[in-house]
Structure 1
Amino acid sequence: MIYKNYRRLLIFIFSALLGLLSSLTMPAWSNFSSLHANAASPLELAREGEQRYNAGELEAAAKLWEAAAEAYEKVGDRDGMTKSLINKSQALQDLGLYPKACNTLLQAFAIQNPNCSQIQIEQLQKNLAQKSDSLSLTQAIGLHSLGDVLRRQGLLQKSQEILQLSLSSIGESAEKSGVLVSLGNTERILGNQIRDRWDYDVVTDIIDRKSVVDALGPYNQAVNYYIQATKVASAPPIPKIQAQLNQFQLLLEMKRWWSEQTQRRIASWARFSESKLIQRGKDFLSGLELQLSQDAQALQNQILPNLATLAPSRAAIYAQINFADSLMQSGQINQVEPLLENALQQSRTLQSRRTETYALGYLGKLYDKQGQLNRAIKLTQQALILAQEQDISGDAREITYLWQSQLGSLLRKQGDPKGAIAAYTAAFNILQSLRSDLNANNQDVQFDFLQEVKPVYLELADLLLKSNLTDKELNSLMVSNSIINREKSENKNSQKRLELARQVIESLQLAELDNFFQDPCSETANVALQIDNIDANAAVIYPIVLPERLEVILSVPGKPLQQVVVPISEQEVNETLDRLYDNLDNLSINNSARNILSTSNPNPQELKENLQTLLPIFGEVYNWLIKPFEAELDPKQIKNLVFVLNGRLQRVPIAALYDGQNYLIEKYGIALVPSLQLLAPQQLEKKQLKVLAAGVSEQIKVQGQFFAALVNVPKELDQIQQTFPASEKLLNQEFTIKTIQKQLKSNFPVIHLATHGLFSSNPQKNFIITGDGQSISINELSALLKEPGTTIELLVLSACETATGDERAVLGLAGMAVRSGARSTLATLWPVGDASTAQFMGQFYEDLKKPEAKQADALRKAQLSLLESLKLNPPFEELQNLPPHPYYWASYVLVGNWQ
């Protein structure tokens, strides 16, 4: 048998989920040369595996390479075995089986009992780093593949480090370009994380300074790697064009994101006639778009001729589809059809079913954009059938999901709501099944949440809420985890429809929480919980913001679900909530309450005008969420209102909703929950209740930053100890990570932390300060509170605040509590003076002590005590005849279990 002395070109697999081409180096060899005369059998297995892989038969390829690896091992050919295992791992990656792919790679590196744990990865990294100068090309390629797997599992830092090690040991071989593309892909996702965790003020500051450099900063390293990848002289054409395609798509994404963010700021500034800021925003955006457009056009001019030179292959097909999708995103649809038709033809010539389903699906997307609905539907259905044919063991769910979702959208446009509901339900069920995979740390199925996942939930809820499906049609939907209480109403059909919609919204909340933390941070109840099962004196309100209307579902114990339609568009809702934020807490607006009250000598007239502006806005939100249900919310039965909020509603201080005479807190207790399914509903055990109360009262310097003294903290902690004598107090230097850890062994059900801290979407910005000048990150705090044997019922974060303008920070609070095992969290949306905090907390714990008091009751009474004292002693004479300003008292929120 003649062995050809060449290496196979790199194989690149399209990732529709991340919008990237993921550079992969497998199968790495068509030449399995061996010193052993009896090695023909393993060689034949390896080559047949390659043939099956090239034909798109991935499972068969993986099994053949596994058999080849075993055969090579028997004849003592370690190199042949390693190559076969690396190739097997590639097939597993393509199937989406990333944990298995990772274990296979560790096996290739001779790791015993591989389980892809962080310890094993770090040990391998340490061992290979010590001999990086002498690593073989086989090992370098194995590291490249491992770096790709780790990225898909969300382990971005490790992916980056492993790929750097691969790069340093791969030399100037043809594979260097592929490693650089992979590094670019990892850096791009790291850049997304940095950008998405900027709070409102950081983005505003970049726009205000017109700093294009800072705006593009998170992606500098990704762009550098992509550019380097195109300059590797020995590289084949595919990795070079892959780098160009990924960079092109990144430029388009940055342009879209910054346009949305800048237009939002300009709208805020326009409300306050901030002409200078408006002009700065426009200047920033025009400068940034000019630079990005020029760079994108230059790349586009290179990509088109480069694509034309590629020989037909799966990699070339994916490259054409990737480019076609980018052109559609940039509005250049006139150039798309030839690319996709060519990709489809090549797929059929090569008999590649997977590439064919993508080509058909994206052609459907193109015809949708051109208004050719019938053609779009037909092609999407063909793509879906092909995807389902390949979904032998659930390994093509992500492809199936894409086309079910697209089909739902198309059928809705065509005026077939029943067909659209069926398609969206199928997509929804796939997303629910993929959520269970996330628990196995398979994070590549975390689609672009805002662009691809959230719309499926909202579209399905939208269609269900206005559908007139029959009983049989509703039963046939079989929504995941759907248990409907059929005895709840005489109008069973209507109740099923609303119950399904409610469950979809609950699932959206869970999906958003998973996406926020980049892992499923919570176990959920295995049934669809309803308020009847939790609290007979509470009602749950689900506001659902849809493009053309606001829907609100009310769940009251023992009564049918109720639905109200508010005829207001999503744009109007967001504009109203932005006005509320601008006037209340926006640091970039001079006359926001936060800026007025942060000065040493606040202007009473400005504060009065601010309150007179805010009250009608709080009234408007009250009219949306509460007024339609006033007759149902009898305060004699309903004591607490529980809100499941999403989007910009999450940063609204719900307690301050205003009916024209009273604030909502004056009628009901208020709690926020991300989802009823996350609750472990039970009332706080008051007998022998004790609190671990820790705080910092002195001015403290942490990492060069000074934090002001909180002089009322000792009083706050003393009050807690007087109320609950079994409590433990840790003040200033006594409050350290070690002392907290030691005290937690005594099992305190309530943890009270009175210190500086911040909660935001950015884990690096989430911290609390200890008395020895250290900062504890949220992850560290969560781990600390989750020590074996500890059960935290309530975590109180006094003096901490949630990040300004960060709509997902409250979600972070909820998730942090869930992750740490705390059933609920009490925190503030904005900074509160420590004198009023001490008063508030004293009252809160006094009421919490009462045998029948729920946490929401105690919170309500503490807020009412602040309200009453402000009514009796207003801070300024000008405010005498007005309700107390919400900024003084409405910041406190209870997230999670309210009982």
Structure 2
Amino acid sequence: MYKLTKRIKRSLLVFLILFTFSLSLGPVTAQISSQRALQLVEQGQQLHQAQQYEQAIPVWQEAIDLFPADSPNRAMAVSNLALTYQYLQQWDAAQEAINQSLSILESVPTTPEQQRILAQTLDIQGRLQQETGKPQEAINTWQRAAAIHTDSTALSLNQINQAQALQDLGFYPKACSTLLGILELPNSECTISLETPETLETPKPTLTTPATPIRAQALRSLGNVLRVIGDLQQSQQALEASLTIFQELNLPDEAKQTNLNLGNTLRVLANRSEEIGDFGAAESYRQQALNSYQQATFHPSLILSLQAQLKQVELLMELEEWDQAGGLISPVRTTTDRLPISREAIYLQLNYAKTILCLEQQNAACLAPRSLDLSLVQESTLTEAAAIFRSSIERAGQIQDLRTQSYGYALLGRLYESQENWQPAGEYTEQALSKSWQAQASELTYQWQWQKARILSAQGQTEQALILYAQTLQTLQSLRSDLVSVNPEIRFTFQESIEPIYRQYVSLLIPPQTKGESSPENLEQARSIIDSLQLAELENFFRLVCLDAVPVAIDQVTDKNDPTAAVIYPILLEDRFEIILKLPGQPLRHYTTPIDGLERTQRILNRLTQSLTQANNQETLPLAEQIYDWILRPIAEDLTASKVKTLVFVLDSALRNVPMSVLYDGQQYLVESYGITLIPSLQLLDPLPFQELRTQALLAGLSKARDKFSPLPFVPEELEKIQSQFPSSLSLLDQSFTRDGLEDAINSVPFNVVHLATHGQFSSQPEQTFILSWDTRIYIDDLNTLIRDRTDNSEAIELLVFSACETLTGDDRAALGLAGVAIRAGARSTLATLWQVQDEATAILMGRFYQSFQDPSVTKADALRQAQLTLLEDNNFQSPHFWGAYVLLGNWL
């Protein structure tokens, strides 16, 4: 994503700052003996608002000369001169004027008028610092101004600018909280509504009231924040509300600027829709994004117009409309050199250089670390791009913008990395690191550390590369408390910019078995790295950090609590599976299975998942055997020799949609030999055997069609069978199963088993993860509120069951939503279905599961296994389609 607005720059800001100055100085201007000075102030204001900056300068200078040397009004006029210099990108002159204004204000007595002008002067100084790449200094200055502001409009503008600087530093939650405060919206979470996406109105009336320029600007900035942290529906909602206000106020240029932001959000919505297989929605979003960008190209600001054109080119490249994209890039090529020096202009030039490279390569992601390839780019274009990178570094140096210099050096390093010219690649990357360290820009540093690690690894300098990978993860860890995402100028998706770091580190740490056995320390470290990846992925899913589980190390459970359980970690790398095995009472072991390419392997995994959604699909067995060969066959003899009964899998993201129970060794399914459970990480929630607890169940289900979902006629039978096992249970069926009814029931009795027999969907996107009640869809955050936030002294939920849910078709990471539900709900164990199963089969399986579940000598994993075998042995339900969908997550005891 490309962030277009770094601060308020156009007519709205000019109007509000200068108009505020002229109105706020009434008591002081009354002392002016010469009406000429007042006329000049008004004239300077008018010229500035008309963007006639060169003509405004002599007017301000004449006004300054007419004010007494120690007059607050002189300081006001000098500040306005500084602002005009900023719009001309005359940074040294602007700084000199600011210094002069502050010197005057320090020499006069402290009065309300002096404080008012001082606050406004500090606002202009903060803007200068922000424009020249010093966001932290800008925040400090704006905070000084905020402390003495008495005008509510000026204070709101100040806070909007602070929020933008926080975004530039990567502190999106803080920025969001600031903007929500301006808008007087609840700011306990970074959200603008507690309603579900289906029931939200766009734009929401409360967002557009009152219809003021300040509110529209705050909504625009909030929309940008929400986009970066991944709340795309709400980003769209905020931006459309901003657009509506600007249109109602007849501020067309501001509306065009918001259109550019809206185009960015719609573009990301298109990519996300494509990720989950909704190609129709993706096409619709892209067309809307193109329309928004086209509107923005008519903005009178040259920079903003060029940004919109570049965005159109990038989007057309994603659509592989290469000729059309090439036609649009030509006007940008001829005008970028004429731009004056500013951070915004430099980023535009850098993005232009990146675009011409990827356009010629005909790969929109040609510079992304995972797909870095410039092999089709002509030498002349490479030379042109390198010259732009160097020029941008020099221009950034002129305004002492360390962050932008760092980015330019990194792009030069990546250019040489693509050519395998390792010496200059390493040198430029080292310079990028030096600048990011000086700027204390950790959100850049981790990326350049990763780039340097790749370069060292490619040269065979494994030990040095391992050190850099470790440093990269340490930097990422330091960002977790507040940095949800990196600078949008250089931001890729989690799968592009975070996940590969962990996998490449593991690949170096534990080389294939054929190259020698890894040390126990390296295996332990590799396992820990993958666990950190699992946690990072879940935090990325929730857009939260510090998941608040109270964990117990799983090795303690297998060595002490259940010596018949083995823990298996299959790790998918670019060229192989690495399987780390933990047998009871034994050190870690390591196995390697070569694969024929990562993409082909992922296609096979997806084909098995798709085949399982149909009964008796002929592809299922050979695909299930292929995956067994990759993961289980290398360790089968050791499992047999250790006499384990339960297999505990910590599955890699690519494997989460695949039920391990259906893997086939050529004669039988894995479930016929072992109980199977999944855990989302190396740690479990308090693994307490269930027989030590008093059982009380809450049952809820839908049998009738609701919200376009089909009826589930066997749900009443399913609930009756379970209720026979738990006579004191409470059952909510159909009309009684409402969202509020579920909340009341959960809070009425301390249930430790919650069974939900209703349609639901798990997705890698939280807004697509929900269960269906009679009156609404209950989304993951709301479900967490219902289940976790119960009355005091309630027992933890031992078992949470979703018996009729499914993963979202086309979403390769849909099971992440299931893991997310399990963790956020705080249940020790979760039993769920990965695809929709005939509810008659579900009724049989659940009845058998709870029958075994009541036996204190049977673990949950074995109870599920016995229930699955009941279906497997039934001629009507032998296909793994019927019994393979059920997976147990968490505590298997």
Q: TM-score range by the shorter chain?
A: 0.7 to 0.9
Structure 2 matches for 1:372-383, cutoff 5 A?
Answer: 372-383=421-432
CA distance in 2, matches of 1:242, 1:732: 53
Are 1:842 and 2:847 counterparts? Answer: yes
Are 1:457 and 2:502 counterparts? Answer: yes
CA distance in 2, matches of 1:892, 1:768: 17
Match of 1:584 in 2: 612
Are 1:701 and 2:705 counterparts? Answer: yes
Match of 2:648 in 1: 642
CA distance in 2, matches of 1:51, 1:657: 62
Say if 1:778 and 1:816, in contact at 8 Å, map to a contact too: yes
Say if 1:524 and 1:677, in contact at 8 Å, map to a contact too: no
Per the alignment, do residues 635 and 446 of structure 1 end up closer, same or farther by CA in structure 2, a change over 3 Å counting?
A: farther
SS in 2 for 1:631: helix
Structure 2 matches for 1:274-423, cutoff 5 A?
Answer: 289=320, 292-330=321-359, 331=361, 332=377, 334=382, 335-391=384-440, 396-423=441-468
SS in 1 for 2:519: helix
Deviations 1:425-460 (A, max 9, x none): 222222223333268999999851111111111101
CA distance in 1, matches of 2:190, 2:404: 33
TM-score (norm 2): 0.78
Give, as a single letter, the amino acid of the residue that structure 2 aligns with 1:374.
Q
Match of 1:229 in 2: 296
Match 2:309 to one of 221, 235, 244: 244
CA distance in 1, matches of 2:582, 2:524: 10
Give, as a single letter, the amino acid of the residue that structure 2 aligns with 1:347.
A
Are 1:891 and 2:893 counterparts? Answer: no
Say if 1:540 and 1:643, in contact at 8 Å, map to a contact too: yes
Are 1:574 and 2:574 counterparts? Answer: no
Deviation at 1:347, TM superposition (A): 1.6
Are 1:502 and 2:552 counterparts? Answer: no
CA distance in 2, matches of 1:689, 1:441: 47
Q: Who wins on radius of gyration, i.e. which is larger?
A: 2
SS in 1 for 2:590: strand
CA distance in 2, matches of 1:821, 1:442: 33
CA distance in 1, matches of 2:534, 2:804: 27
SS in 2 for 1:701: coil
CA distance in 2, matches of 1:848, 1:298: 67
SS in 2 for 1:865: helix
Structure 2 matches for 1:458-537, cutoff 5 A?
Answer: 458-466=503-511, 494-520=519-545, 522-524=547-549, 530=555, 531-532=558-559, 535-537=562-564
Structure 2 matches for 1:38-187, cutoff 5 A?
Answer: 38-39=113-114, 41-73=118-150, 77-105=151-179, 129-132=208-211, 135=212, 137=213, 140-167=216-243, 168-169=245-246, 171-172=250-251, 174-187=253-266
Deviations 1:566-600 (A, max 9, x none): 12232442343244345433xxxxxxxx1xx4xxx
CA distance in 2, matches of 1:71, 1:500: 52
Say if 1:99 and 1:442, in contact at 8 Å, map to a contact too: no
SS in 1 for 2:797: coil
Gaps of 5+ in 2: 29-71, 73-112, 196-202, 362-376
Say if 2:566 and 2:646, in contact at 8 Å, map to a contact too: yes
Are 1:822 and 2:827 counterparts? Answer: yes
Structure 2 matches for 1:700-849, cutoff 5 A?
Answer: 700-703=704-707, 705=708, 707-710=710-713, 712-744=714-746, 745-761=748-764, 766-770=769-773, 772=774, 774-789=776-791, 790=794, 791-849=796-854
Per the alignment, do residues 156 and 863 of structure 1 end up closer, same or farther by CA in structure 2, a change over 3 Å counting?
A: closer
Deviations 1:652-692 (A, max 9, x none): 22112222332211221011122123544322245431222
Per the alignment, do residues 560 and 713 of structure 1 end up closer, same or farther by CA in structure 2, a change over 3 Å counting?
A: same
Match of 1:624 in 2: 630
Give, as a single letter, the amino acid of the residue that structure 2 aligns with 1:145.
S
Deviations 1:310-340 (A, max 9, x none): 1222111111112222334342453422221
Say if 1:26 and 1:90, in contact at 8 Å, map to a contact too: no
Per the alignment, do residues 827 and 108 of structure 1 end up closer, same or farther by CA in structure 2, a change over 3 Å counting?
A: closer
Deviation at 1:104, TM superposition (A): 4.6
CA distance in 2, matches of 1:117, 1:454: 24
CA distance in 1, matches of 2:206, 2:842: 53
CA distance in 1, matches of 2:464, 2:710: 58
Gaps of 5+ in 1: 1-17, 207-213, 256-288, 469-490, 586-593, 598-606, 876-883
Give, as a single letter, the amino acid of the residue that structure 1 aligns with 2:717.
K
Say if 1:701 and 1:773, in contact at 8 Å, map to a contact too: no
Deviations 1:159-187 (A, max 9, x none): 44443444323633654443222222233
Deviations 1:109-167 (A, max 9, x none): 7x699877657999x997773441xx3x5554444334434444444444444434443
Say if 1:438 and 1:519, in contact at 8 Å, map to a contact too: no
Deviation at 1:400, TM superposition (A): 0.5
CA distance in 2, matches of 1:509, 1:375: 35
CA distance in 2, matches of 1:435, 1:533: 33
Deviation at 1:195, TM superposition (A): 3.0
CA distance in 1, matches of 2:668, 2:635: 16
Deviation at 1:382, TM superposition (A): 0.6
Match of 2:673 in 1: 667
Say if 1:522 and 1:678, in contact at 8 Å, map to a contact too: no
TM-score (norm 1): 0.77
SS in 2 for 1:792: coil
Say if 1:21 and 1:242, in contact at 8 Å, map to a contact too: yes
Deviations 1:747-806 (A, max 9, x none): 211112223333334556544444x46544444433322232353221222233333443
Per the alignment, do residues 449 and 360 of structure 1 end up closer, same or farther by CA in structure 2, a change over 3 Å counting?
A: same
CA distance in 1, matches of 2:753, 2:347: 55
SS in 1 for 2:592: strand
Say if 1:230 and 1:243, in contact at 8 Å, map to a contact too: yes
Match 1:657 to one of 663, 677, 702: 663
Say if 1:184 and 1:223, in contact at 8 Å, map to a contact too: yes
Say if 2:798 and 2:829, in contact at 8 Å, map to a contact too: yes
CA distance in 2, matches of 1:445, 1:864: 51
Match of 2:270 in 1: 191
Match of 1:433 in 2: 478
SS in 2 for 1:437: coil
Say if 2:606 and 2:812, in contact at 8 Å, map to a contact too: no
CA distance in 2, matches of 1:128, 1:627: 58
CA RMSD of superposed structures (Å): 3.5
Give, as a single letter, the amino acid of the residue that structure 2 aligns with 1:163.
L
Per the alignment, do residues 650 and 72 of structure 1 end up closer, same or farther by CA in structure 2, a change over 3 Å counting?
A: closer
Say if 1:81 and 1:108, in contact at 8 Å, map to a contact too: no
**Range with greater deviation from structure 2 (760-769 or 639-648):** 760-769
Say if 1:49 and 1:62, in contact at 8 Å, map to a contact too: yes
Match 1:558 to one of 568, 574, 585: 585
Match of 1:860 in 2: 865
Per the alignment, do residues 165 and 805 of structure 1 end up closer, same or farther by CA in structure 2, a change over 3 Å counting?
A: closer
Give, as a single letter, the amino acid of the residue that structure 1 aligns with 2:258.
V
Identity of aligned residues (%): 39
CA distance in 2, matches of 1:514, 1:767: 18
